[in-house]
Structure 1
Amino acid sequence: MSNQPDGLQIPIKVNGEARIVPPGLNIRQLLAHLGLDSGRVAVELNRVIVRKPDWDSTSIETDASLEIVTFVGGGAA
């Protein structure tokens, strides 16, 4: 039995905020869904850092908890 609920959306948390997203997304697809630049973020899924090479094979399940950190460039001129 799958832990995916019936319906077209699943609940997750992103940076502590409840979100509803389509089921079956991997990390890269979730970032695109959220409108985030996948080249400038680090992702932690359920308290485990997920390396970029693993994003396409890492599915987002119901009630997943993600921390997404966006890197910001810049510095002193």
Structure 2
Amino acid sequence: MPLTLLLNGQNRTFDALSKSATIEQLVAELGLKTDRVAVEHNGEIAARARWHETPLSEGDRLEVVHFVGGGLDTGPVEGTLPVSL
């Protein structure tokens, strides 16, 4: 039986996830690398160490952020000050 979640503000139905799915299974279903993802589950940050045991329920609200590295350094943005460490 599919699971419908509110993911990043949009209702999404996951046919491959059962009603007993976990956050870990959702992240895998989305094809994301776990070391580059943060998940907010019903308004609270979900601890990565507990994804495997954190169950999802029909209608849960999730915000999933996938971090991407790299980019082109074009110098300081106008109106900002350079930072020295």
Q: Partner residue of 2:8?
A: 15
Query: 4+ residue runs of structure 1 moved beyond 3 angstroms?
Result: none
Residue 29 of structure 1 deviates from its aligned partner by 0.8
Q: Secondary structure at the match of 1:31?
A: helix
CA deviation digits over 1:8-53, x for unaligned, max 9?
1121111011111222211111011111111101000000001111
Instruction: Mark the runs of 5 or more structure 2 residues left unpaired by the alignment.
Output: 75-85
What is the number of residues matched between the two proteins? 70
Q: Secondary structure at the match of 2:13?
A: strand
Task: Give me the identity figure in percent.
Answer: 39
Whose radius of gyration is greater, 1 or 2?
2
* TM-score (normalizing by structure 2): 0.74
Q: Secondary structure at the match of 2:58?
A: coil
Letter of the 1:12 partner, please give it. Answer: L
Q: Partner residue of 2:68?
A: 72
Instruction: Mark the runs of 5 or more structure 1 residues left unpaired by the alignment.
Output: 1-7
Q: Secondary structure at the match of 1:68?
A: strand
- Check if 1:36 corresponds to 2:32: yes
Letter of the 1:35 partner, please give it. Answer: G
Residue 74 of structure 1 deviates from its aligned partner by 1.8
Q: Distance in 1 between matches of 2:3 and 2:25?
A: 14
Q: Distance in 1 between matches of 2:67 and 2:30?
A: 16
Q: Distance in 1 between matches of 2:42 and 2:51?
A: 14
Task: Report 1 or 2 for greater relative contact order, CA contacts < 8 Å, sequence distance ≥ 6.
Answer: 1
